[in-house]
Structure 1
Amino acid sequence: MRALGVVVVALAALALAACDRESAKSFSFVAGSENTVLQPIVEAFCKQRNTTCTFSYEGSLDIGLALQSADGVAADAVWPASSVWIDLFDTGRKVKDLTSIAQMPVILGVRKSKAEELGWIGKDVLMADILAAVQQKRLSFLMTSATQSNSGASAYLAMLSSALGGKTVIEPGDLDDSTVRGTVQALLQGVTRSSGSSGWLADLYVEAAKSGSGYDAMWNYEAVLKETNDKLKPLNQEPLYAIYPADGVAVADSPLGFIDRGTGPETEKFFTELVAYLQSAEVQKQIAATGRRLPFSSDAIAATPEPDWNFDPTRIVTAIRLPEPAVIRQALDLYQVALRKPSLSALCLDFSGSMQGEGEQQLQAAMRFLLTPEQASQVLVQWSPEDRIIVLPFDGRVRSGFEATGDAEAQAALLAEVANEQADGGTDMYSCAADALTRIAAAPDRDDHLPAILILTDGRSEGDALGFLEQWRRIEPHVPVFGITFGDADKTQLDTLAAATSARVFDGRGDLAGAFRAARGYN
């Protein structure tokens, strides 16, 4: 009997070892920011399987571009907001077993007192009503960039569909209609702040409400509006009232897809079991509790409606049909070069002595990317002729200032000026920021543009932020100050400016052009 016991223990050990070999040791995800709230649900499954799971969050365009690149996605699974971006960019069919995890219509959340003022409480609201409010200067809103983030693209496509009279499918010729273009362009004049991330935009709304300088409204996912209101409630701030445009909304399908990187069958097995776990009744209840709709639920599982702010995930919405990928790409190009609210961007370029060598070469290469339409258009960040660009090379002082529109000839002239700059001298980014702010404030048409300051620096700046921030507070509307770092930049100084001005800092040390592209999604 004792010998039999030894054999049983040995067999059990072998079985456990085989089980371990079948389980993925690690699994990585690249996801859209709107999926952050679902990470704990996935991590519970990872813990059950003794698998180390890691998450990185990227914009929809970033995920798409990675799929399109030769190197591919550095993750085992992609989880964007919508399969649109996979259809658009995954031409090599790298994504397998794509499965919708949730559905989220993109709707307009309006500060409740503003919704009452507009007479929108308890009634159907059309896109034409939203347009009228924008044109009457009674409404402005936050909205992510349509070329960077799915929520912005969804709102934009719904605007196009409405302008076409609720046409079932947008076709290529529809985008040439001048009336349609004019209507959508007028709607987009309502944008008061843009971003490349739906989650960041929601955080911006909450922070502004806390500071007493709140915004009127925000285009975002139905579920993200719930998350936002859940944060506003304990702060005693009024909720966002949900407006479901009656003439149609775009619905995100939150697809989870597998990327086979040759790590073995246990990795794909983990993915398959994860999808089954997410489709289980118990987990579906958890997903539904976040305000998301369930595409594969046979039961009537949904978060509890909240009539106080018109939230109802059981409500049947008029969903627009998304056009073919080629038409979507055409629509996004049209948005970038003609329809979006134009930007007024001041670029502070660090040409101090510490930039000599590699830093100067990187900066010049980044500017060639940004000011060459053929290159910028490949990743949907090209300038439009209505954009205003201010370039301010600086060291211990602002050396000179160059201003131009965003047409191709003017960009070439700016690029020629930048090419003449050479690194030398000290570093004072605050004097450059102050000069940029003065120029933006003096622009006669600044109210028709989205203003922003972008500071590119590799070193610690002389001076401090106090004087600049005093100037900044006196000028309204307030201008966000974004930072792009490379080299051994002191990120703390840029973080201080970004936090004080409701902006962000982007890490350009690995990919300066990529950081420029990300920053362009915010103005």
Structure 2
Amino acid sequence: MPKTLTSVLLLAFSVLLAACNASNVKFSIVSGSENTVLEPIVQEFCSKQGASCTFAYEGSLDIGLGLQKPGGVDQDAVWPASSVWVDLFDSGRKVRNLTSIAQMPVILGVRKSKAAELGWVGRQVFMKDILAAVKDGKLKFLMTSATQSNSGASAYLAMLSSALGGREVIEPGDLDKPDVREAVGTLLQGVERSSGSSGWLADLYVDSVRQGTVYDAMWNYEATLKETNDKLRQMGKEPLYAVYPADGVAVGDSPLGFIDHGRGADVEKFFTDMLAYLQSDAVRKRIADTGRRLPLGGPAIQATAEPDWNFDPGRLVTSIRMPEPAVIRKALDLYQQALRKPSLTALCFDFSGSMEDQGEKQLQAAAQFLFTPEKASEVLVQWTPSDHIFVLPFDSAVRDNFEASGDPAGQSRLLAAVAEQHAGGGTDMYACAEQALQKITATTDLSKYLPAIVIMTDGRTEGSADMFLNQWRNAPVRVPVFGITFGDADKSQLDSLAKATSARVFDGSGDLAGAFRAARGYN
């Protein structure tokens, strides 16, 4: 056989072998919700390689806690919004080749007419201006939980930095200063709705506009505000005006990192090839077109500025310096324990006959998690004395109602009350929702709380939602109704209730306590 032909055949065989190897790769990524818009770009690469790629979307805290587990996360790669969460939780250094894909400042998007009313259009805005608007009752905003989501943590750390006069580094002792606590606590009183997901929060804003409820503002990524305004423009609605706090913002570096589960060199090579693809000029241009800023290095590429809402990804922003991991952890504890807006939560616990045996055991275990401060604080969802909690066990009717503040003694009383309940009877979750709403709306100083109803049930309910929804529409505040489901629960009715009240349903089939923890991030 001629030498040239032999070479061609060997080359063809090697290409075919590489394709076969790639086609055997199954690769999974756990990512922050802000990357949903980038998933199609990754899937295109996977398709070209003949590989199967899957995404799981979780909050920053979930990703961090996964890294903290002995076995680490189950996926082959992590893609949080910021390397802060890897630094904070990856003590075993499981993440390798962590590489920034984009730069995402967290800024404040203010309804344009509201920004004009506040005199913020066309001028620099400082955090003190935002604080003054909140104190005067002229501004409320949406913001993710600082202990669950990177965008909320970023906004919160920028507030702390501003309260310290733009100090280059936040030190542990700074968090004990009364004036700092007062300024940041007052700013956080502006929170009108919270969540554990930046993407979900943006969807909430758009869906609420569609339904006729318009919020003043939202803290979120610069790129997420662009995505939100693109949708608002299509609807013919008013955009959010981009406010870049002049005294500093936190910037997420969107890092993608590899987790070696011992599946062989082919898997790690697939990851490094993926990184190379994402860093190629053509793909960088596509990433920039989404409104994301690109890491330094390579040609300067950015999305087109949109002056009508002050969007400018080429604008220089003052970036705060991220504190050391131990200081961030202390700051997050401070947020959860003292500075966040207090929760007003009504918990409807389903003790109907269908919950007998396993369901009842799961429910009691979830209550143990919720009302044991040491357990809840491990994942930064502990209650505080400023919180107010109602517990309403129900079957075909509400059996009783118990209430307490979130101090340890109050939690202990609620836990004891739940322990006395046993499964039996029919099911009517709507009757419980009605009483829960009555309890919430009768609360004095309602405006100082973030209210929510959480229904934990197997979803097999009697009754109709009509009476509750009529009551809900006439209530003085919009109270979201979250659902938490069991094993083979029927989600349809809970989904309908959550959609009607701008909330969501959490799957508790595999980890009921984890579902409660996730729900707490929204309240």
When the two structures are superposed, what TM-score results if normalisation uses the length of structure 2? Answer: 0.98
Aligned partner of 1:338 in structure 2 is 338
Kept after mapping to 2: 8 A contact 1:293/1:313: yes
Corresponding position of 2:80: 80
8 Å contact 2:19–2:49 — kept in the other structure?
no
Aligned to 2:26: 26
1:304 aligns with 2:300: no
**Residues 396 and 276 of structure 1, relative CA distance in 2, 3 Å threshold:** same
Kindly indicate whether the alpha-carbon contact (under 8 Å) linking 1:24 and 1:266 is maintained by their aligned counterparts in 2.
Answer: no
> Relative to structure 1, is the Cα distance of residues 459 and 218 closer, same or farther in structure 2, using a 3 angstrom cutoff?
closer
Give distance in 2, aligned partners of 1:83 and 1:321.
13
Relative to 1, partners in 2 of residues 1:14 and 1:155: Cα closer, same or farther, differing over 3 Å? closer
Q: Which moved more, 1:44-53 or 1:28-37?
A: 44-53
1:159 pairs with 2:162: no
> CA-to-partner distance for each residue in 1:318-351, whole Å, 9 max, x for gaps?
0000100000000000000100000000000000
Does the aligned pair in 1 maintain the 2:495–2:504 contact within 8 Å? yes
Per-residue CA deviations over 1:214-273 (Å, capped at 9, x if unaligned) read: 100000000000000000001000110000000000000000000001111011001111
Superposed CA deviations along residues 161-208 of structure 1, whole A, max 9, x for unmatched, are 000111111000000001100000000000000000000000000011
| 1:38 matches 2:38 | yes
What is the identity, as a one-letter code, of the residue corresponding to 2:54?
A: T
Give the alignment's Cα RMSD to 1 decimal.
1.6
Tell me which amino acid in the other structure corresponds to 1:165: G
- Show the counterpart of 1:446: 446
Q: Which residue of 1 aligns with 2:215?
A: 215
Preserved contact between residue 24 and residue 267 of structure 1 (Cα < 8 Å): no
Deviation at 1:296, TM superposition (A): 3.2
Deviation at 1:63, TM superposition (A): 0.3
User: Within 5 Å, which residues of 2 pair with 1:469-480?
Assistant: 469-480=469-480
* Aligned equivalents of 1:507, 1:157: Cα separation in 2: 31
**CA distance in 1: counterparts of 2:153 and 2:43, whole angstroms:** 29
Distance across 1 between alignment mates of 2:507 and 2:251? 32
- Determine if contact 2:384/2:407 at 8 Å carries over to the other structure: yes
| Amino acid of the structure 2 residue aligned with 1:492 | S
- The residue that corresponds to 1:141 in the other structure is 141
User: How far apart are residue 280 of structure 1 and its match?
Assistant: 1.0
Aligned to 1:489: 489
State how far apart, in whole Å, the 2-side matches of 1:415 and 1:466 are. Answer: 32
How far 1:487 sits from its partner (Å)? Answer: 2.9
Q: Structure 1 unaligned runs (5+)?
A: none
Are the counterparts in 2 of residues 364 and 418 from structure 1 also a CA contact under 8 Å?
yes
Match of 2:230 in 1: 230
Deviations 1:408-453 (A, max 9, x none): 1110011011101111111110000000000001001211000000
Residue of structure 1 equivalent to 2:328: 328
Q: Which amino acid aligns with 1:271?
A: F
State the secondary structure of the residue aligned to 1:37. coil
2:264 partner amino acid: G
Q: Which runs of 5+ in 2 are unaligned?
A: none
Question: Residue 22 of structure 2 contacts residue 50 of structure 2 at CA under 8 Å; is this kept in 1?
Answer: no
* Alpha-carbon offset, residue 276 of structure 1: 1.1
Q: Output aligned runs, 1:64-463, within 5 Å.
A: 64-463=64-463
User: Aligned partners of 2:296, 2:259: CA distance in 1, in Å?
Assistant: 22
Structure 1 residue 111, shift from structure 2 partner: 0.2
Aligned partner of residue 36 in structure 2, secondary structure = helix
Give the whole-Å Cα distance in 2 for the aligned partners of 1:179 and 1:347: 35
Partner Cα separation in structure 2 for residue 284 and residue 321 of structure 1: 25
Aligned amino acid, residue 106 of structure 1: V
| Distance of aligned partners of 1:11 and 1:469 in 2 relative to their CA distance in 1, 3 Å threshold | same
Aligned-residue offset at 1:19: 4.8
- Is the 1:385–1:407 Cα contact (8 Å) retained in structure 2? yes
The code of the aligned residue for 2:190 comes to G
Identical columns (%): 69
Q: Give the equivalent residue in structure 2 for 1:63.
A: 63
Return closer, same or farther for 1:7/1:183 CA change in 2, 3 Å cut-off.
closer
**Alignment partner of 1:327: what SS?**
helix
SS in 1 for 2:320: coil
What is the distance in 1 between the residues matched to 2:303 and 2:3?
Answer: 57
Decide whether aligned partners of structure 1 residues 130 and 87 sit closer, same or farther in structure 2, where only a CA change above 3 A counts.
same
Moved over 4 A (4+): 1-11
Which of 333-342 and 8-17 deviates more? 8-17
The 2-side partners of 1:273 and 1:67 are apart by 23
Return the TM-score normalized by structure 1.
0.98
- The letter for the 2-side match of 1:343 is S
Which segment drifts farther, 294-303 or 43-52? Answer: 294-303
Residue of structure 1 equivalent to 2:500? 500
Are 1:166 and 1:248, in contact at CA under 8 Å, matched by a contact in 2?
yes
Amino acid in the other structure paired with 1:231: K
The 1:426–1:275 alpha-carbon spacing in structure 2 relative to 1, beyond 3 Å, is same
Matched with 1:521 is 521
Figure out how many residues of one structure are paired with residues of the other and give that number.
523
Please report how far the alpha carbon of residue 26 of structure 1 lies from its aligned counterpart in structure 2 after TM superposition: 1.4
What is the distance in 2 between the residues matched to 1:34 and 1:77?
Answer: 16
Question: Is the 8 Å Cα contact of residues 459 and 494 (structure 2) preserved in structure 1?
Answer: no
Contact between 2:370 and 2:376, CA under 8 Å: does it hold in 1? yes
